[in-house]
Amino acid sequence: MRAICRGLLILCLAGVRAMGQEVYKPSPTELREAYNRAGEMRTIGNGRVFLASVEANWTADGAKSWYRNDLADGKRQFVLVDAAGGKRGPAFDHVKLAAALGKASGKTIDAERLPFDRIAIIGEQAVALETGGKKWQVALDTYECKPYDGTIAAPDSRPADRQRGRADDRRAVVPRDGDVASPDGKWIAFVKDFNLHIRPKSGGEVAKLSTAGVSGNAFGRILWSPDSRTIVAHRIEPGDRKEVYLIESSPKGGGPAKLQSHVYPRPGDKFTAWEMWLFDVESHKETKADTDRIDFGDSPAVHWRDGGKRFTFERTDRGHQRFRIIEVDVATGKTRNIVDEKANTFICGLKHFAYYMDNGREIIRASEKDGWNHLYLIDGETGRDKNCITPGEWPVLGVERVDEQKRQIWFRAGGVWAEQDPYHVHYCRVNFDGTGFVRLTAGDGTHRIRYSPDGRYFIDTYSRVDLPPVTELRKSEDGALVCGLEQADISRLLATGWKYPERFTAKGRDGKTDIYGMVIRPRNFDPKKKYPVIEYIYAGPQDSFVTKYFHPFNRDMHELAELGFIVVQCDGMGTSNRSKAFHDVCWKNLGDAGLPDRIAWIKALAARDASLDISRVGIFGTSAGGQSSTGAVLFHGEFYKAAASSCGCHDNWLDKAWWNEQWMGYPVGPHYAAQSNITNAAKLKGNLLLMVGELDHNVPPESTFRLADALIKANKNFELVVLTGSDHSDGGPYGRHKRQDFFVRSLLGVEAPGWN
């Protein structure tokens, strides 16, 4: 029988060679050399990529800026940009300045390696610098040096009015515990014996305001109205506070193993509940707000209206299928829903944005209700949409700035250029009424911009995995190009044999939807040979994950490629930053992980490129990627032949509640078990390597151990590596080496070089 199998294998290999494709199988010497090359990849870009970014230093009037370019072999150059004139050039004559500085200091100065890091621009014809502990002013018409006693300020490229992060954070008022003073400074509110009390700040009689507080349901989270007449407080019923246990087997300093524990809510656990009450400071009247207890998240931040007569708060119901902005009348406790959005699947909390204006009379908020994440202008009194601010079949990715005076919004978006990859990040501006839409960035790539201090200009750097960074100066008003600044120099990187990752697009499972990804090949790639394929996977619904900007090293994909693999990555359905329908595939379906799209994408790539051997496909990932990579060999073992999974959340019920209830839904249903790697362990085909950190605080290690238990009971062969002393991790250097050896054995069919 063995002779027959051997003969068939020889015939198959001969057939492959006859078609011009030889199966890649390295000799021991070649494999050792490949491991050496792989070890170079993490630092391959060090000292080999230049002119990739610009850190501008602006003059006070915002008309000019300078920056320093650090070049190969320690060389450097200083560049001056005249934004008003649209010109870029040397900040000075480097040779003349070196000579003048050498004469003044009595030292030999290399013009290509000037001994200072920064300059100050003085008027039109002078610069100041500091070297050797002395400051000099250099006249650029005569290149005369004289001592300088001024300052050489640090750069500041951020406009004074620039708002970073969520714009509502600066307006919302958050409840607090402890002694909380009233805005007028007259009163202190505090909790004693489970109930709310107040006392004059200057001293005097204490008054008890609440009566319903008891042990296990005490008052807390105190909030004063702006007029100091009303207190909002919450009666709090604690949740389960269930714990996860970890064993530190090898404590630092020696001694026996240590048991660790931490609170870790899981899907279905009882959460802390917040019941809202209102208290009149003068009459001591207590009123329960006419709203259900909040049983998900924290006590809500509020936005006050009319000086303290009303307020609004935001509420997402447990299960993430309903979002509301609720108004409360402090005199009566009556409530009304200003916004009440419901979804058949989920409302993505990570895309939440709400911005309150004019005492709450207008609200800008994000919603996916039309199938794409867009911004809407809302009447804050009626809750009705005034208009969609950003209509179109593309998503808003984040708000940069809201200009209430000009009634304009500056934001990031994807898919605004139809001819480009829809995941490329671009910057735009639009008026509140939806008019005046301007795409501020245009280059084919993912963009990052930095504004001048006065906001009139911005420096735009864009790149792709196959395009080194390009940096330009543009006008903030309309995005018009002022002048080009730099194009990255990667000639030294290319001289190592480094190759650009390749972008590839193919249809997903439905035959209609485009799936975008990239391909990484070994530096010694031979198109006449046939290589196994390894997919890197992370399919968490919170984002998209294929790299969209230039980087010499993509995770450990480059390392694996050097060992003789074609390594790929794509974003399947169920991930974010596309349409709501694309995202909704993950709903109660995390076990899907977009794997049908990924398989279709890899098959399409192999149909175009004969160097891919899709009879030998592996997959690896960490955390949610650990779950998905194991799921690949359980649910799609006919395609994926080997998986390496690190710190996987192998059963969504065992993982953190906030993440899993958002995508898997609440209450916990039978679909949790149906998609669990643990309950499906008996379906394992191919080879499986599991790695887990014994001190993983993100995903409980028991998730991996329970999977191992199920595999043992199903009589399945697998490998398990416990990373002692390690938290949530892909395995670190040791784990990476184990993963590399695993794929060399499983897919190349050869033994890895011995470690010892």
Closest among 546, 540, 563 to 698, alpha carbons compared = 540
Q: In which region does residue 106 sit, left (phi positive, over 0), alpha (psi from -120 to 50) or beta (all else)?
A: left
Q: Which helix (H) or strand (E) holds 47?
A: none
Within-domain flag for 160: no
Do 292 and 324 sit in the same domain of this protein?
yes
Tens-place pLDDT, residues 550-561: 999 998 899 999
Question: Average pLDDT in the 591-608 region?
Answer: 98
Query: What pTM does this model have?
Result: 0.93
pLDDT value, residue 187: 97
Do 555 and 646 sit in the same domain of this protein?
yes
With 90 as the cut, is the pLDDT of residue 471 above it? yes
With 70 as the cut, is the pLDDT of residue 162 above it? no
Question: Average pLDDT in the 210-217 region?
Answer: 96
The sign of the CA dihedral 541, 542, 544, 547 is negative
Do 430 and 481 sit in the same domain of this protein?
yes
Do 474 and 573 sit in the same domain of this protein?
no
Do 254 and 339 sit in the same domain of this protein?
yes
How far is residue 605's CA from residue 612's CA, in Å, rounded to a whole number?
A: 8
Closest among 104, 84, 102 to 94, alpha carbons compared = 102
pLDDT value, residue 172: 86
Do 501 and 439 sit in the same domain of this protein?
no
With 90 as the cut, is the pLDDT of residue 230 above it? yes
Do 35 and 84 sit in the same domain of this protein?
no
Burial of 401 (0-12, 13-18, 19+ CB in 10 A): middle
Q: Which helix (H) or strand (E) holds 313?
A: strand 310-316
Looking at residue 50, its amino acid is F
Cis check: omega of the bond before 667, within 30 degrees of 0: yes
Within-domain flag for 684: yes
* CATH number, residue 245: 2.140.10.30
Where does the pLDDT of residue 123 fall: very low under 50, low under 70, confident under 90, or very high at 90 and above?
Answer: confident
pLDDT value, residue 224: 97
Tens-place pLDDT, residues 669-688: 999 999 999 999 999 999 99
3-state DSSP call for residue 581? helix
- Exposure string of 549-564, with b = 16+ CB inside 10 Å and e = fewer, is bbebbbbbbbbbbbbb
Q: What percent of the chain has pLDDT over 90?
A: 92
Q: Which helix (H) or strand (E) holds 257?
A: none
Within-domain flag for 426: yes
Question: Average pLDDT in the 56-68 region?
Answer: 94
Number of domains in the chain: 4
- Exposure string of 6-17, with b = 16+ CB inside 10 Å and e = fewer, is eeeeeeeeeebe
Do 549 and 610 sit in the same domain of this protein?
yes
Domain boundary (352, 384, 400) is at 352
Tens-place pLDDT, residues 685-736: 999 999 999 999 999 999 999 999 999 999 999 999 999 999 999 999 999 9
pLDDT value, residue 171: 63
692: Cα within 13 Å, side-chain hemisphere: 25
Tens-place pLDDT, residues 131-156: 989 999 999 999 999 999 988 865 55
Question: Average pLDDT in the 53-68 region?
Answer: 94
Distance of CA 632 to the CA centre of its chain: 24
Domain boundary (301, 318, 352) is at 352
Do 399 and 319 sit in the same domain of this protein?
no
Give the 3-state DSSP-derived string for 595-614, with helices as H, strands as E and coil as C.
HHHHHHHHHHHHHHCCCEEE
Let me know how long the chain is: 756
Where does the pLDDT of residue 20 fall: very low under 50, low under 70, confident under 90, or very high at 90 and above?
Answer: low
The sign of the CA dihedral 567, 571, 574, 576 is positive
Within-domain flag for 4: no
With 80 as the cut, is the pLDDT of residue 159 above it? no
How far is residue 476's CA from residue 456's CA, in Å, rounded to a whole number?
A: 5
First to last CA, the chain: 37
Within-domain flag for 246: yes
Q: Which helix (H) or strand (E) holds 31?
A: helix 28-40
Tens-place pLDDT, residues 403-417: 999 999 999 999 999
Strand partners, 340: 324
With 70 as the cut, is the pLDDT of residue 165 above it? no
Do 714 and 617 sit in the same domain of this protein?
yes
Tens-place pLDDT, residues 272-306: 999 999 999 999 999 999 999 999 999 999 999 99
Supply the range of the domain harboring residue 88. 57-147
DSSP label at residue 589: -
Crossing angle for the helix pair 595-608 and 624-635, to the nearest 10 degrees: 70
Within-domain flag for 511: yes
Helix runs in 49-201, H state only: 94-105
* CATH number, residue 502: 3.40.50.1820
3-state DSSP call for residue 50? strand
The residue ranges of DSSP E strands in 509-667, in sequence order, are: 514-520, 529-536, 566-570, 612-622, 642-646
Do 35 and 74 sit in the same domain of this protein?
no
With 80 as the cut, is the pLDDT of residue 8 above it? no
Burial of 155 (0-12, 13-18, 19+ CB in 10 A): middle
Domain boundary (422, 453, 487) is at 487
Question: Average pLDDT in the 234-247 region?
Answer: 96
Cis check: omega of the bond before 733, within 30 degrees of 0: no
Question: Average pLDDT in the 92-113 region?
Answer: 96
**CB proximity list for 190: less than 8 A, separation 6 or greater:** 178, 179, 180, 196, 197, 198, 199, 222
Where does the pLDDT of residue 161 fall: very low under 50, low under 70, confident under 90, or very high at 90 and above?
Answer: very low
Within-domain flag for 32: yes
Question: Average pLDDT in the 353-375 region?
Answer: 97
Q: What percent of the chain has pLDDT over 70?
A: 95
How far is residue 712's CA from residue 495's CA, in Å, rounded to a whole number?
A: 49
With 80 as the cut, is the pLDDT of residue 169 above it? no
Tens-place pLDDT, residues 244-279: 999 999 999 999 999 999 999 999 999 999 999 999
Where does the pLDDT of residue 347 fall: very low under 50, low under 70, confident under 90, or very high at 90 and above?
Answer: very high
543: Cα within 13 Å, side-chain hemisphere: 9
With 60 as the cut, is the pLDDT of residue 166 above it? no
Do 207 and 310 sit in the same domain of this protein?
yes
pLDDT value, residue 506: 98
Within-domain flag for 368: no
